[in-house]
Amino acid sequence: MERIKSQLAVYKRAAANGMVEPENLRRIKALRTQLAVLDRTRVQLPRPSTNYASVRGFDFPLASGDEVERLERTVRQDRQVRAEFVRYLATKNSTHVDLVDCFGLFFADSSMVNYNWNGISSHRFPKRAMKTYSIFTDCFQDAWPGLGLTTDVLAFKLKRTVEKINNRRNVQHSKRRRKARMIKIVEIE
Residues 14 and 80 in one domain: no
Residues 158 and 121 in one domain: yes
Of residues 130 and 7, more confidence is placed in: 130
Residues 32 and 82 in one domain: no
> Model confidence over 137-183: pLDDT tens digits?
999 999 988 878 899 999 999 999 999 999 998 898 888 888 888 88
Q: Quick check: is 108 in a domain?
A: yes
Q: Quick check: is 165 in a domain?
A: yes
Q: Quick check: is 131 in a domain?
A: yes
> Model confidence over 25-84: pLDDT tens digits?
777 777 778 777 777 666 554 444 444 578 989 999 999 999 999 999 999 999 999 999
Q: Quick check: is 60 in a domain?
A: no
Burial class (CB in 10 A: 0-12, 13-18, 19+), 21: exposed
Residues 25 and 73 in one domain: no
Number of Cβ within 10 Å of residue 95's Cβ equals: 6
With vertex at residue 153, the alpha carbon angle to CA 152 and CA 155, rounded to the nearest 5 degrees, is 65
Confidence category of residue 20, pLDDT binned at 50, 70, 90: low
Domains of the chain: total: 2
Q: Quick check: is 176 in a domain?
A: yes
- Give me the amino acid identity at 1: M
What is the DSSP code string of 111-170?
Answer: GGTTEESS----SSS--EEGGG-TTTTHHHHHH-GGGT--HHHHHHHHHHHHHHHHHHHH
pTM here is: 0.66
Reference 75, options 87, 64, 63; nearest CA is 87
* Domain range for 26: 2-44
Looking at the chain, the number of H-run helices and the number of E-run strands are: 7, 2
Residues 7 and 71 in one domain: no
Give me the phi and psi of 103, to 5 degrees please: -55, -35
Residues 94 and 139 in one domain: yes
Residue-level pLDDT at 52: 52
Residues 31 and 82 in one domain: no
> Model confidence over 81-92: pLDDT tens digits?
999 999 999 988
CB-based burial, 138-173: b 16+ in 10 Å, e otherwise: ebbbbbbeebebeeeebbebbeebbeebeeeeeeee
Residue-level pLDDT at 60: 92
- Give me the amino acid identity at 185: I
